[in-house]
Amino acid sequence: MELARLNEEFLSYLSVECNRSPATVSAYASDFRLFLRSLGAAGPRLGANDVTRQTVRQYIAWLRAEGHKPNSITRRLASLRSFWRYLRDNGYTETDPFLRVSIPKRERPLPTWLTVEECERLLAAAERQPSIAHAYRDRGVLGLLLFTGLRKAELLALEVSSIDLSEGTMRVERGKGGKCRVLPIPLRLVSALTDWLELRPLCRHERLFTSSAGTPLGGKGLASILRRALYRAGITKRCTLHHLRHSFACMMLQGGCDLYSLSQMLGHARLDTTATYLHTSARDLHRAIGKHPLAGGEQDPLQPGNRRDLPGHVSPRVPHGHVARAMPHQLGDGAVIPAIPLQERVERDATRVNDVPAVGKARVA
């Protein structure tokens, strides 16, 4: 049987028996179409036993030549591996072309997030618009993303019955992988959702958030809400809906939340996924080293009042060829001394050497 027909059967299996979301099934279908395109005209006519390790290696090389990043290549190969596992389990083939094939190492870049001050500006900007109903809706939408870390699909699937404002809880019915979880709602968010429910138009559907026409809010409408709020807040950094989820996770960890509780709130199946947010800054490392028994509980040196301006302290040298022209140096007493250009420092040091007594000159030499 041809691969194209077998893949249609596999997609049906994912949708009906595995209860995968339409977006997941669509992603698997897209990955398979890309694989067939890499095989050229002969792709649609190939059978399951016609694909070998060499075919897979050529596909990886083709993806790299097309400019796909390692994470994208790894995900597309994982999709095809699932397809071939289905073929083996159902007796369509006995071979595994992915066996002993080197897979690109998955990259885990540090997540991008908004600071606490930027999040406050974003929530305030959501209310600055002519329509009161839109202001309450946008504040509720952005508040849910920032206070609970919901995914885009989870927020769009929320219904009015999912929110229990009297108990301060929210039930996420359609989480990733079909999982359900119950999340607490902070009092500030309860107030925002209460205002929105009072002005929510009467609709024939039960979705929590609606468009201006009363239809369920969609992905484009959600992106538009964020884009308008970012513009009004004056936030110019790149920020997507998923970056708000990153912001929630980072703020929770900075506030002292443990990793297991955060993984439950985010709906992660594995702790190592949540551990992506355990990035450290220079200040975090200074605080950590201060707990060393030999450090004597020293204070954070990055705070303005804690710099080592003691006799005998040597400041770090500026690397040769690097001149700090515009960045001033902040001292512990609050004084600001502008950086001295390199040529002026050379002339000043030469003058000081010429002023040294004869004995001193000999020592310097």
Q: How far is CA 83 from CA 63, 275, 303, in A?
A: 18, 29, 55
The span from the CA of 97 to the CA of 77, in Å, is 11
Q: Confirm if 146 and 120 have CB atoms less than 8 A apart.
A: no
Sign of CA dihedral 270, 272, 276, 279: positive
């009297």: which residue's tokens?
166
Active-site residue (options: 37, 242, 329, 345): 242
Catalytic residue, chosen from 151, 200, 207, 246, is: 151
What backbone phi and psi angles, to 5 degrees, belong to 28? -65, -40
* Annotated catalytic residue 242: yes
Question: Is residue 151 annotated as a catalytic residue, yes or no?
Answer: yes
Name beta bridge partners: 181: 172
- The strand pair at 329-330 and 181-184 is best described as unpaired
Residues 6+ apart with CB under 8 A from 132: 199
Catalytic pick from 174, 176, 286, 307?
176
Q: Residue 139: what are its φ and ψ, rounded to 5°?
A: -65, -40
Instruction: Examine the residue annotation and report whether 237 is marked as an active-site residue of this protein.
Output: no
Contact (Cβ atoms closer than 8 angstroms) between residue 59 and residue 14: no
Query: Is 323 strand, coil or helix?
Result: coil
Among residues 20, 139, 207, 268, which one is catalytic?
268
Residue 228 is among the residues annotated as catalytic for this protein: no
Question: Is 53 designated active site?
Answer: no
Whether 176 is catalytic is yes
- Amino acid 8 reads E
Active site residues: 151, 176, 242, 245, 268, 277
